């Protein structure tokens, strides 16, 4: 849905998108990187749920060039994703890095941005400034900024800053989108490795080269791939392992909460059953004409035992369903539930007995 004339006043990135963008930006200290941001417009906000990492045609310190086919691939990728309403997503922004330089967009960035805005006025740009270390203090400052090109005045476009923020809640718009954002992290390594191999093959295709030079080039390729592995793949893998561990802990906690809730629910059922069982006991007394008193202690006890038997059968009827359900899951859960209810039942009964008699 194109929304001409709407001025974008906020860019919201999902936490996954922000994570992948930073990882991408920090993957290269010498050259700029670039990618496409995929999302939708909501009023004056643009929300990004996922992204497409792009393969570069040229790798420069202050410039990045992309094959137009990559932009087409980005548009197709976006259209293949549906949001929670079943609507297609779109490429609504681009991001690139500024290694060792300011976060502000250059004149070239603003012209590129103005061209994108001609196609869609809500299109935005995001820049990640990385590897800006203050030599005197050793402090490494990383910055991110959102912007649009202001073409209201004649001449070169100027920069209009757009507020940028991260929202964790929009990461889970749909499972497909959530997975695609993390897939981009895996694609990052593949795209960068492919760029290195293409560069190596370019030299090879230029003609016959000295065998020693070729060995040197192969060694260079191996060194660069090893560098990528050490500085990109390994940290990403460690992060993923940590996330998996956190997910397992959270899943265990959720399971424990569910179990506690079930136990609590069963105990409540047990309380209700206790009242029923008291009625059964009273009924027993009536049947046996048994009234509490000192002279009939022996007979009353015997009556209690009979009633208790009836009560246990009555009380534990619902749990028998549980027991039938769970043998294949192991006896521990069902028996534990039964045990808890049973113990509680006995305790309550003792209490009830002591109050009553
Ligand atoms: Zn730039």
Q: Is the pLDDT of residue 275 over 80?
A: no
Q: Which CATH class is domain 10-181?
A: alpha beta
Position 299 pLDDT exceeds 80: no
Identify the pLDDT of residue 301: 46
- Ligand 1 center–CA 109 separation, angstroms: 5
301 CA distance to ligand 1 middle (Å): 90
pLDDT of residue 319: 32
pLDDT score for 105: 95
User: Would you state the torsion angle of the CA atoms of residues 254, 258, 263, 269, taken in this order, to the nearest 10 degrees?
Assistant: 160
10: left (phi over 0), alpha (psi -120 to 50) or beta: beta
Helix/strand/coil for 81? coil
Instruction: For residue 137, report the distance from its CA to the centre of ligand 1, in Å.
Output: 26
**What is d(CA 184, CA 319) in angstroms, rounded to the nearest whole number?**
48
Specify the DSSP class assigned to residue 1.
-
82 - beta bridge partners?
88
* Cα 103 to middle of ligand 1, angstroms: 8
**Residue 228 pLDDT grade (very low, low, confident, very high; cuts 50, 70, 90):** confident
3-state secondary structure of 19: helix
**Ligand 1 center from residue 18 Cα (angstroms):** 18
At residue 96, the pLDDT reads 95
Local confidence band at 84 (pLDDT 50, 70, 90 cut-offs): confident
Confidence of residue 131 (pLDDT cuts 50, 70, 90): very high
Task: Using pLDDT thresholds of 50, 70 and 90, give the confidence band for residue 276.
Answer: low
Q: How far does the centroid of ligand 1 lie from the alpha carbon of residue 68, in Å?
A: 18
Q: What is the pTM of this model?
A: 0.68
Say how far apart CA 323 and CA 330 lie, in whole Å: 10
Distance 155 CA to ligand 1 centre (A): 19
Residue 271 pLDDT: 58
Mean pLDDT value of segment 146-151: 95
Strands 90-99 and 34-42: antiparallel
Sign of CA dihedral 301, 302, 307, 313: positive
How many CB atoms neighbour CB 191 within 10 A? 20
CA 101 / ligand 1 centre spacing (Å) = 9
* 203 CA from centroid of ligand 1 (Å): 28
pLDDT of residue 122: 95
Whether 277 shows a pLDDT value over 50: the answer reads yes
Q: In the chain, list all ranges with CATH 3.40.140.10.
A: 10-181
Measured in Å, residue 309 CA sits from the centre of ligand 1 at 82
Q: What is the pLDDT of residues 183-216, one digit of tens each?
A: 898 888 899 999 888 888 887 777 777 888 888 8
- pLDDT band for position 292 (cuts 50, 70, 90): very low
Tokens standing for residue 64: 């990045």
| pLDDT value at 340 more than 50 | no
- Whole-number Å distance, alpha carbon 63 to ligand 1 midpoint, is 7
Q: What is the CA(98)–ligand 1 centre distance, in A?
A: 6
Question: pLDDT by residue (tens digit) across 152-186?
Answer: 888 899 999 999 999 988 877 788 898 898 889 88
């Amino acid at each position: 849905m194109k929304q001409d004339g709407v001025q974008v006043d906020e860019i919201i990135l999902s936490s996954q998108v922000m994570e992948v963008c930073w990882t991408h930006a920090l993957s290269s200290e010498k050259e700029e990187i670039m990618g496409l941001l995929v999302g939708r417009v909501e009023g004056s906000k643009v929300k990004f749920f996922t992204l497409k990492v792009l393969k570069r045609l040229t790798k420069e310190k202050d410039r990045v060039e992309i094959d137009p086919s990559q932009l087409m691939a980005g548009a197709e990728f976006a259209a293949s994703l549906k949001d929670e309403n079943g609507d297609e997503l779109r490429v609504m922004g681009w991001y690139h890095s500024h290694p060792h330089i300011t976060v502000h967009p250059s004149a070239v960035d603003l012209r590129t941005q103005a061209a994108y805005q001609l196609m869609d006025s809500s299109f935005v740009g995001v820049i990640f400034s990385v590897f800006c270390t203050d030599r005197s203090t050793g402090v490494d400052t990383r910055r991110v900024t959102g912007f649009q090109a202001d073409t209201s005045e004649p001449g070169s476009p100027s920069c209009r800053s757009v507020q940028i923020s991260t929202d964790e809640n929009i990461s889970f718009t749909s499972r497909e989108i959530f997975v695609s954002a993390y897939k981009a992290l895996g694609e990052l390594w593949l795209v960068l490795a492919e760029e290195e191999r293409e560069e190596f093959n370019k030299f090879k295709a230029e003609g016959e080269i000295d065998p020693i030079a070729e060995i040197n080039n192969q060694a260079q390729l191996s060194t660069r791939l090893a560098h990528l592995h050490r500085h990109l793949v390994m940290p990403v893998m460690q992060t993923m392992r940590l996330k998996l561990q956190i997910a397992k802990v959270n899943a265990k906690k959720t399971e424990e909460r569910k179990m506690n809730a079930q136990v609590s629910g069963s105990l409540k059922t047990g309380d209700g059953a206790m009242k029923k069982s008291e009625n059964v006991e009273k009924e027993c007394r009536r049947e046996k004409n048994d009234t509490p008193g000192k002279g009939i202690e022996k007979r009353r006890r015997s009556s209690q035992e009979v009633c208790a038997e009836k009560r246990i059968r009555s009380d534990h009827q619902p749990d028998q369903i549980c027991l039938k359900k769970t043998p294949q899951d192991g006896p521990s859960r069902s028996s534990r539930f039964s045990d808890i209810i049973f113990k509680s039942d006995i305790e309550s009964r003792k209490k009830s007995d002591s109050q009553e008699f």
